[in-house]
Amino acid sequence: MTVFNFKLLRGAPIFDQVVFASIGSMLRGEYRAGQAFPSVRTIASDLKIHPNTAHKVIQFLIEEKWLETRPGIGTVVADRPKTKSEEWRRLLRNDIERLLARAHSLDVGLPDLVEELNKQWSRLDQVRRTQ
């Protein structure tokens, strides 16, 4: 396995896959607030991707406030601030649209999608409770 415990899939943008795997690893508690995050070199080497792609991933995660840079330490996982209702809706809207488009392209019905969302939500809740 890799730094984010996943394998790249063919056909999906590498940037998106690495971003989602990174966020997933933070949500699962594999990387916690204040903990050092893998470097561009480590990500590129481990996933066998171009260093520029790894750099773009880290920059995106910094812009989205998942990571922060600390002088003398490097890039670390950021503390996640609580978001207001209207802010989380805005932040999730694009992700939900992409998920729905992907589900439609795979002919996945809403009940199956909701079932999978519930399973994943429960799994993340279990992880949070053990932290």
Prediction pTM value: 0.66
> Quick check: is 61 in a domain?
yes
Q: Domain with 22 in it: what CATH number?
A: 1.10.10.10
User: What pLDDT digit, counting tens, does each position of 19-65 carry?
Assistant: 988 988 888 888 999 999 999 999 999 999 999 999 999 999 999 89
User: What pLDDT digit, counting tens, does each position of 96-119 carry?
Assistant: 888 999 899 999 999 999 999 999
Cα within 13 Å of Cα(29), Cβ side: 9
Task: Please report the sign of the dihedral spanned by the C-alpha atoms of residue 6, residue 2, residue 62, residue 119.
Answer: positive
Residue 129 has what pLDDT? 66
Q: Are residues 73 and 90 in the same domain?
A: no
Q: For tokens 């984010």, what's the residue?
A: 4
Q: Are residues 62 and 107 in the same domain?
A: no
Q: Are residues 108 and 68 in the same domain?
A: no
Give Rg (Cα) of the chain: 16
Q: Are residues 126 and 98 in the same domain?
A: yes
Range of the domain at 122: 85-130
Q: Is the pLDDT of residue 130 over 80?
A: no
> Quick check: is 43 in a domain?
yes
Residue 25 has what pLDDT? 87
Q: Are residues 73 and 104 in the same domain?
A: no
Residue 3 has what pLDDT? 80
Q: Are residues 34 and 53 in the same domain?
A: yes
> Quick check: is 5 in a domain?
no
Q: Is the pLDDT of residue 73 over 70?
A: yes
Q: Is the pLDDT of residue 128 over 80?
A: no
Q: Are residues 93 and 42 in the same domain?
A: no
Over residues 74-98, mean pLDDT: 79
Contact (Cβ atoms closer than 8 angstroms) between residue 67 and residue 78: yes
Number of domains observed in the structure of the chain: 2
